[in-house]
Amino acid sequence: MKASYGALIETVRAKNPLIHHITNYVTVNDCANITLAIGASPVMADDIGEAADITRISSALVINMGTLNERTIISMLESGKSANAAGIPVVFDPVGVGASGLRNRTVVSVLDAVNLGVLRGNISEIKQVAGMQSATKGVDASRDDRISTGDAVAIAKKLSSDLGCVVAITGAADIISDGQRAVCIENGHPMLSDITGTGCMCSSLMGAFCGAAPDAPFEAAVTALLTMGIAGELAFEAAGGKGLGSFRAALHDAVSRMDAQTLMRRAKIYEA
């Protein structure tokens, strides 16, 4: 199983796919740099006047609603439809859903209009998308939403079947399901939640791997989360004691140096 994930690292570096993002202005620089670090190319273009043009030359689309506004919501929907029409995989990151009516309505609009390849969120966000009660805390997972791995797997499987896409719940342990299969990843480090953008960067990595392997969104999502989790461990080992600024630079270092061997040797993944 691990070999197929390791192989994807080599595929994305060989193919260098172009990944279109409609994303937020808080973490967009991190998303661009992490996309480059794993071997893909980023493009960010959110004007409705070029959504279709840019999507057409891209290999995957990442929709991240972190700093959504009236103008960009329309671009998210139109780019998503263009991606579907062109057969390009779409990764959706419903940042902060539950924190406002606008975010809740936007998620409904995206799910109505766009067929997703992968949906990624923290447990608070995924519970909200699944129509369950959740205790949102802005863009971070709420402590009140912590659940057992078994419960998370059940939620991911059910939502995956309902939406017809891969669902990934990221947190201390990551759960990924395509409705049939489900895996749990136990890589990572708590410092990853102490810098902004690690969730957004996971979605960008998913976009990169989906762009490299458009027919394998489950493997793409898993490889993205293994990459980020292992990079977090390596970054902590290299610089965690210095503080968050050094940890952040080391995280980008680790993603840029990730290879199949490192990924396979360090992966803590099991069927769930």
Residues that bind a second copy (CB under 8 A): 18, 20, 24-30, 32-33, 36-37, 41-47, 49-50, 53-54, 57-58, 66-71, 96, 99-103, 136-140, 194-197, 242-246, 248-257
Rounded (to 5) percent helix, strand, coil in the chain: 55, 15, 30
Q: What is the DSSP letter of 36?
A: H
Residue 137 or 158 with smaller CB distance to a second copy: 137
Residue 255 or 272 with smaller CB distance to a second copy: 255
Q: Measure the CA–CA gap between 2 and 7, rounded to whole angstroms.
A: 9
We find the least distance from the C-beta atom of residue 46 to a second copy, in angstroms, to be 7
Helix axes 101-113, 70-86, angle to 10 degrees: 20
We find the least distance from the C-beta atom of residue 250 to a second copy, in angstroms, to be 6
We find the least distance from the C-beta atom of residue 246 to a second copy, in angstroms, to be 5
Residue 71 or 265 with smaller CB distance to a second copy: 71
We find the least distance from the C-beta atom of residue 121 to a second copy, in angstroms, to be 15
Q: Measure the CA–CA gap between 113 and 58, rounded to whole angstroms.
A: 19
Residue 163 or 249 with smaller CB distance to a second copy: 249
Residue 4 or 69 with smaller CB distance to a second copy: 69
Q: Taking a C-beta distance cutoff of 8 angstroms, is the pair 228, 202 a contact?
A: yes
We find the least distance from the C-beta atom of residue 105 to a second copy, in angstroms, to be 9
Residue 184 or 210 with smaller CB distance to a second copy: 210
Token readout for 256 is 């840029």
Q: Measure the CA–CA gap between 263 and 149, rounded to whole angstroms.
A: 23
We find the least distance from the C-beta atom of residue 175 to a second copy, in angstroms, to be 23
Q: Taking a C-beta distance cutoff of 8 angstroms, is the pair 122, 169 a contact?
A: yes
Cα-Cα-Cα-Cα dihedral sign, residues 146, 187, 9, 4: negative
